[in-house]
Amino acid sequence: MTDLTAVEVIRAKRYGRALTDEQLRWFVDAYTRGDVADEQAAALLMAIVWRGMTPHELASWTDAMIRSGDRLDLSGLGKPTVDKHSTGGVGDKISLPLVPLVAACGAAVPQLSGRGLGFTGGTLDKLESIAGIRVAMTNEEILQQLRDVGCVICAAGPGLAPADRKLYALRDVTGTVESIPLIASSIMSKKVAEGAESLVLDVKFGSGAFMTVRAEARKLAEAMVSIGSRNGVRTTAFLTSMECPLGRSAGNAVEVAETLEVLDGGGPPDVVELTLTLAREMLALAGIDADPAAALADGRARAKWDEMIRAQGGDPDAPLPTAAHTRVVPAPSTGYLCRLDAMAIGIAAWRLGAGREDKDDPVSATAGVTWTKAVGEHVERGEPLLVLHGDDKARLDAVTAFAHSAYAIDREPPAPAPLVVERIAR
């Protein structure tokens, strides 16, 4: 029987004191069980936003979140296990080609993904553009598919880190999302509970990312790498730019179509570059000597994708849904595309119906934005630059004018900027 109280813990953090292991573990456990009220948890979260956490506090807080539920045991799969997590961005469909690619090279990849909220897309929303696909799976089904196929992309079950599910919902409505310790613990509690031996993080910064400033993204990456290492998970992170959207599409079905291009050996160069960068790191952490570029070129990655989709009830040969209406946004002048703003593209796709404002909102499989040029490429006045896709003509009308704010054309090409800017490891 503990004599701790929620008020005592809140006051300690409010005054900037480091919380003890006992205080942190008790609070997370009590809140998960319903013995601490939402308003008390919200007060502690706000105190953490203002006062931060020491590395030791963060480790104990995250450990308590992991211990709040199940932890998958992947030790019986007979092959190395490795996963990847992205902090989210516009056009970020990388998980879709990456998971089957790494599995085709010999690893088991348990990719437990989420849905989009706001202008950043969700992997599960994209995957559900495929006819028949099932993304809600039990732990037993996940383990069986990893044995049979070697990879899975699905939703995390309610038993994994339930404290995070409850705390995240509270953060979303109390203005306490923007905190590096809270973000890091939320991501890593689920990833550690998932049970993979190794993890590669894609931490994005820029206009279309949650972290707009590189220095803040680096702090987040370092915090997550530290948590992974403390929990026995080999963890590295890459900082990648999200000033421009990835690839040539933002939406759901349009991003799956681009995924298939990559898996068939083509696709936009930036998507291929990032997919291969992360694949090589995942395989290195897993101790597998394989060339992922060869697995893309010879069709093994595409075959593994088809196998994974079928295992989850989907039809990889079914045509993807297409929008009832499209609207072309032509280039207003001749020159070089010097800016394609990730946030503006993401907002346009969201307004067309590809994203959601509330976590329970439906999304359109067909809505989205595609573009014909990458930054630095030459454009001619009048040629198609953006294409808006949607089933609601009124939305197309409303978004067309806004879409012009997403780009800029100049007489001279911009200086090339790297996509992958830094690797972080312990």
Instruction: Kindly report, residue by residue over 220-229, the tens digit of the pLDDT.
Output: 999 999 999 9
Cα 306 from Cα 396, distance rounded (Å):
33
Among the options 13, 25, 84, 85, which is catalytic? Answer: 85
Q: Which residues pair with 112 in a beta bridge?
A: 154
Cα distance from N-terminal residue to C-terminal residue, the chain: 39
Tokens for 112?
């437990």
Our answer to whether residue 389 is catalytic in this structure is no
Is beta strand 198-205 parallel, antiparallel or unpaired with respect to 82-86? parallel
**In this structure, are 352 and 311 located in the same domain?**
no
H-type helices in 179-317, by residue range? 180-194, 214-230, 253-263, 269-286, 292-297, 300-311
Residue 416, burial from CB neighbour count under 10 angstroms (0-12, 13-18, 19+): exposed
Angle at CA of residue 422, ends 418 and 426, nearest 5°? 170
Cβ-contact 13, 60 below 8 angstroms: no
pLDDT of residue 340: 97
Where is average pLDDT lowest: 206-210, 266-270, 315-319?
206-210
> What is the domain-level CATH number for residue 146?
3.40.1030.10
Q: Dihedral sign for Cα 396, 398, 400, 403, please.
A: negative
Domain range holding 28?
6-52
When pLDDT is averaged across residues 337-342 and rounded to a whole number, the result is: 96
**In this structure, are 273 and 370 located in the same domain?**
no
pLDDT of residue 359: 66
Where is average pLDDT lowest: 18-32, 140-154, 166-180, 189-203?
166-180
Question: Does the structure show a pLDDT above 90 at 158?
Answer: no
What rounded mean pLDDT belongs to the chain?
A: 94
At 169-182, the pLDDT tens digits run 899 889 898 899 99
At 114-141, the pLDDT tens digits run 877 666 668 999 999 999 999 999 999 9
In 10 A of CB 354, how many CB atoms?
30
Cα 338 from Cα 17, distance rounded (Å):
48
**In this structure, are 309 and 342 located in the same domain?**
no
Report the b/e string of 257-292 with b at 16+ CB within 10 A.
bbbbbbbeeebbebbbebbbbbbbbbbbbbebebeb
Q: Is residue 63 part of a domain?
A: no
**In this structure, are 195 and 263 located in the same domain?**
yes
Conformational region of residue 52, where left means phi above 0, alpha means psi within -120 to 50, and beta covers everything else: left
pLDDT of residue 117: 63
- Name the one residue in this structure whose structure tokens are 């997919």: 275
Domain count, the chain: 3
Our answer to whether residue 85 is catalytic in this structure is yes
Q: Which residues pair with 154 in a beta bridge?
A: 112
**What are the backbone angles phi and psi of residue 148, rounded to the nearest 5°?**
-80, -40
**In this structure, are 247 and 357 located in the same domain?**
no
Among the options 115, 165, 190, 302, which is catalytic? Answer: 190
**In this structure, are 130 and 266 located in the same domain?**
yes
Cα 169 from Cα 158, distance rounded (Å):
14
**In this structure, are 183 and 144 located in the same domain?**
yes
Our answer to whether residue 300 is catalytic in this structure is no
pLDDT of residue 168: 87
Among the options 171, 218, 302, 395, which is catalytic? Answer: 171
Question: Does the structure show a pLDDT above 80 at 345?
Answer: yes
Question: Does the structure show a pLDDT above 80 at 358?
Answer: no
> What is the domain-level CATH number for residue 394?
3.90.1170.30
**In this structure, are 189 and 95 located in the same domain?**
yes
At 58-89, the pLDDT tens digits run 999 999 999 999 989 999 999 999 999 999 89
SS3 64: helix
When pLDDT is averaged across residues 349-363 and rounded to a whole number, the result is: 82
Among the options 63, 83, 164, 341, which is catalytic? Answer: 164
Among the options 68, 129, 179, 186, which is catalytic? Answer: 186
pLDDT of residue 118: 63
To the question of pTM greater than 0.75 for the whole model, the response is yes
Our answer to whether residue 186 is catalytic in this structure is yes
